[in-house]
Amino acid sequence: MSRFFSPTLSNLEPYTPGEQPQDRSYVKLNTNESPYPPAPAVLEAIQKETGRLQLYPDPACAALRQKAADYYGLQPDQIMAGNGSDENLFFALRAFCDENHPLAHANITYGCYAVWCGLLHIPEDIIPLEADFSLDPVKYHGRNETIVIANPNAPTGLALPPEAIGAIADANPDNVVIVDEAYVDFGAESCVPLIASHDNLLVVQTFSKSRQMAGARLGLTMGPRELIADMERVRSSLNPYNINRMTLAAGIAALESTGYFDETRHQIMETRAWTAGQLARRGFELTDSRTNFLFARTDRMEGGALYRALREKGVLVRHFSAPRISDWLRITVGTLEQMEILLKQLDDILGG
């Protein structure tokens, strides 16, 4: 770092995203992207906006918020649009945490939570997962702190039922509970219906996974209008034009493309189940994933070594070096053909 870098950030550890290598063609199963293209209507909507890029987008995202409100059974002032769910989550931490208001989160979960705490000088209350990687909701009762829960969790893939999240919100009535539902469309239940009965609950979703828009960067925060107003105050203070014209149009078209949405997410869930069965037959241990990825390990090879061996064979998966999960791999569910290639390479590496 340079001598000009802020001393208060000298210990900041940035988030490490999944590899996006350009050196060769890979079977890319490491960043939880959809293997399917966006809905045809999404591509058409983007094309229509390319001739108007000289104009600023609507800073209020009014048309998108109305469409999302109709889709989720909310009001437009209960929804905020962000540049991916990451921006929404960051704004939530900025709005509801500070040096005197900690953030409680699991020890094995989405890595950006800890990074943002370091960037914003937010104290962390880190709550360990159970031995089987499940999250015990009772440990979150009465924390009297802002809480964020990835549900389903990443990288473990496990999910809590909405009633458990509701009980956490009830047990922390004077603090905001943020539910990160990036993967909810692959077999978990959303907490959006709980918003009507909980004035301290925020639900964050993304268009990156189940709506094939990771490259467009769009997410939604949903919650009571008072909490959304707080977050809008933060957003407008940083970047009031945070969603570009093409992404706004794409988001509306994606919400209208319900048939394509259901078809592709169900295909991913079917491929996930088939792949999990194939891995189990090969002796892999797996969690009960409710996401578009599998979390798996084998006694036959250490996780880092298996990750590197697969990479050499042109298959990218995600490996984490944290002690409790260093033997585990997070494997994005791709097409059936991609998963067959994964299994073939695993057989070659592990001896069939």
pLDDT of residue 129: 98
pLDDT of residue 167: 98
315 CB-contact burial (10 Å; exposed 0-12 / middle 13-18 / buried 19+): buried
Q: What is the topology classification, in CATH, of domain 40-257?
A: Aspartate Aminotransferase; domain 2 (3.40.640)
pLDDT of residue 165: 98
Euclidean distance between CA atoms 43 and 247, whole angstroms: 10
pLDDT of residue 153: 98
Give the distance between the most distant pair of CA atoms in the chain.
58
Classify the C-alpha dihedral 295-220-244-260 as positive or negative: positive
pLDDT of residue 273: 98
pLDDT of residue 66: 98
Euclidean distance between CA atoms 206 and 186, whole angstroms: 13
pLDDT of residue 79: 98
Contacts of 47 (CB under 8 A, 6+ apart): none
Q: pTM of this prediction?
A: 0.96
Residues in the chain where the model's pLDDT stays below 50: none
Three-class secondary structure of residue 87 per DSSP: helix
| DSSP assignments along 218-244, one per residue | -EEEE--HHHHHHHHHHHHHH-TT-S-
Domain ranges of the chain: 7-37+259-350, 40-257
Cβ atoms of 225 and 78 within 8 Å: the answer is yes
- Which tokens is 201 given? 């609950």
Return phi, psi of residue 140, to 5°.
-100, -5
Residue among 333, 239, 316, 219 nearest 279 (CA): 333
pLDDT of residue 19: 81
One-letter amino acid for residue 46 of the chain = I
- Whether domain 7-37+259-350 has CATH 3.90.1150.10: the reply is yes
pLDDT of residue 13: 87
Three-class secondary structure of residue 80 per DSSP: strand
Q: How many helices (H) and strands (E) does the chain have?
A: 10, 13
Residue 15 is classified by DSSP as -
